[in-house]
Structure 1
Amino acid sequence: MICTLMVSMMLCISCDNNDDDTSRGNWTDRSVFDGTPRSNAFSFMIDNNGYMGTGYDGDDYLTDFWQYDMNGDFWVQKAAFPGTPRSSASAFAIDNKGYAGLGYDGDNELGDFWEYDVATNSWTQKASFAGTPRYEAVGFAGNGFGYLGTGYDGDNDKKDFWRYNPTTDEWTELVGFGGQKRRGGIAFNLNDKVYLGTGESNGLFVDDFWEFDTATEQWTKLRDLDDDDDYRVMRSFGTGFAINGLGYIATGYNVGAIGTVWEYSPGTDTWEEVTGLEAAIRQDAISFSNGTRGLVLLGRTGNLYLDDNYELFPQEEYNEDD
């Protein structure tokens, strides 16, 4: 009875996401994840297929690895991640290969790094991350390279960034990021630029927001996430994705799990709230995006671990009956 009441309350809180002036944005449920409900998985996208693996289910750290076919709306289990079971790993994709590593195994921060070959459904261990082992770091790719930075190494929140060269299997430290230290931040790619923000450090939510040019590897500071009194973008452990030239930050943690979604316009450097996730509020979710479609899935709310999967249609008018 208590569990049923708790779930009902969380679902009602999710409904409150739509009890404001937000009238744009609609959600449609997609194929529920076939595996164990979990939070803190890693994910990356190749063509129209999303890939995700590892994570924590409330009892165990995991190694299973899955493909989601966005066009067909179904799941296929793939070769398991061969490293130590973990959560809060980081990942990115370059061409037709995915890369994943770092994370936390319940006792130790990790720094190993692995390559997944879609064509052969196989994993190969690569050069370990050159920074300190850590988890809750941000990963992204651009211009043929991968990038990892920020996170928590067991002693300190971090703000360093490293470039990975898949051709030489080498890591190089970058300079020039003037932002705050953070764990649990997000990044999304838009038009050959990467946008990075959110997260927390020293018990506070960070408010800075940055653009990274993958061609020049230069950082540009943008408007703070609390620059406008109406903005409620700040959070940690959310997820970020892009749809048709606009960026989205969804779900996460701010005093508690949240379901709100904010849309970023790079042309004006402004934010607008759209319909919140029409499901249980959550943190530690993942997202899939191919540039024209975006989905939010998995995560947890309190001790409830989730396996649901929802697609956002941000330009549709909100319809509570969908």
Structure 2
Amino acid sequence: MIQTILKYRAAVLLSMVMVMTYSCSSDDEEDLGNWTDSSVFDGSARSSVAYFTVGSTGYMGVGYDGDDYLNSFWSYNIDGDYWSQKADFPGVARNAAVGFEIDGIGYIGSGYDGVDELSDFYKYDPSTNTWSEIASLPVVRRSAIAFSANGYGYFGTGYDGENDMKDFWRYDPSTDQWTELVGFGGNKRRSATSFTVNGIVYMGTGISNGVYLDDFWAFDPSTETWTQKLDLDEEDDYTIVRSSALGFEMNGYGYIACGESSGALTSVWEYDPTTDEWDLKTPFEGTARQDGVVFSNSARAFIGMGRTGSLYLDDLKEFFPMDEYDDED
């Protein structure tokens, strides 16, 4: 009888240790990721800007500050932690435009000027601080996505003033021409996000017909084909669905941060392309926001700007995804 009781107590203690170990591991995993303050933006608070990164410099321009559509353009020095105002964007003031970078040249175009969806596009040369107009998109659009790969720019989805869209276009800077692509089997959407890991572009989130979308896709630029990945609510393990979020890459992992889903969000999710799985990271350590900006050069990443409701923001924070959370820094 005594031996039976002792065995039972030992089993209970072992199970308690196992539960405590699992709980600590889960907590440690969710607490992985730290945030530190960076230089507050020198200009007016704004959201829905267009942005891109060239080397160790982030660039952002246009947007909306709650009263006016903007055409000012700024750079953020990642190594020096300071802002500089650059030559104004030459097109009409707008928000909900897109930006991307090809071979050290930045591109900004499309968007909304308060009356119309737009199709014009411009390129920016950081070495001379000058803008040049390039071929316009064959379509008007706002709240689209854009990215670059293999020396081309790609543009797709968004809202054309009447409908949400799912088309994609390729820009060739050597010929200054846009060509429509075929083959994307996902849903129409606006306000989606994307990131690139090891040459593959991953795209998801967004909203259409009032529904936050959960399909997630990989684009191979070498074949210009799309492959569907696990949904963003797979088996209810994930709560990644949202719109107006930020996507970026660091050290071989993809990230989706902040955004909006019946209110502004702070949550940050890390994607492992080798397993097609997501892990929750420490939330953004600041005001919840949508329509923000992210500067990332693979080694470092910074999130800022955006809005929550009618409050427009001008702060900037650096993200350290592999560091333990420290609430004292």
Fold conserved between structures, TM > 0.5: yes
The 5 A counterparts of 1:307-318 are 307-318=314-325
Pairing 1:166–2:195 present: no
Measured in 2, the distance between the counterparts of 1:217 and 1:50 equals: 27
The 5 A counterparts of 1:171-210 are 171-210=178-217
Cα deviation digits, residues 108-133 of structure 1 (max 9, x gap): 00000001011111110110012x20
- Tell me which residue corresponds to 2:283: 276
The 5 A counterparts of 1:211-226 are 211-226=218-233
Pick from 26, 38, 51 the counterpart of residue 34 of structure 2: 26
Gaps in structure 2 of 5+ consecutive residues: 1-26
Measured in 2, the distance between the counterparts of 1:238 and 1:129 equals: 24
Pairing 1:113–2:121 present: yes
- Tell me which residue corresponds to 1:62: 70
Measured in 1, the distance between the counterparts of 2:189 and 2:100 equals: 19
Pairing 1:262–2:274 present: no
Higher RCO structure, 1 or 2 (CA under 8 Å, sep 6+): 1
| Number of residue-to-residue matches in the alignment | 303
Cα deviation digits, residues 129-150 of structure 1 (max 9, x gap): 12x2010000000000000000
Q: What SS does the aligned partner of 1:228 have?
A: helix
Pairing 1:125–2:133 present: yes
Highest Rg: 1 or 2? 2
Amino acid across the alignment from 2:158: G
Q: What SS does the aligned partner of 1:64 have?
A: strand
Pick from 274, 287, 290 the counterpart of residue 294 of structure 2: 287
Pairing 1:134–2:134 present: no
Q: CA deviation at 1:23?
A: 1.1
| TM-score calculated relative to the size of structure 1 | 0.93
Gaps in structure 1 of 5+ consecutive residues: 1-18
Higher helix share: 2
Measured in 2, the distance between the counterparts of 1:263 and 1:107 equals: 37
| TM-score calculated relative to the size of structure 2 | 0.91
Amino acid across the alignment from 2:255: Y
- Tell me which residue corresponds to 2:163: 156
Q: CA deviation at 1:228?
A: 3.1
- Tell me which residue corresponds to 1:103: 111
Measured in 1, the distance between the counterparts of 2:39 and 2:180 equals: 40
Q: What SS does the aligned partner of 1:51 have?
A: strand
Q: Is the 8 A contact 2:29 2:281 kept in 1?
A: no
Amino acid across the alignment from 1:306: L
Q: What SS does the aligned partner of 1:272 have?
A: strand
- Tell me which residue corresponds to 1:16: none
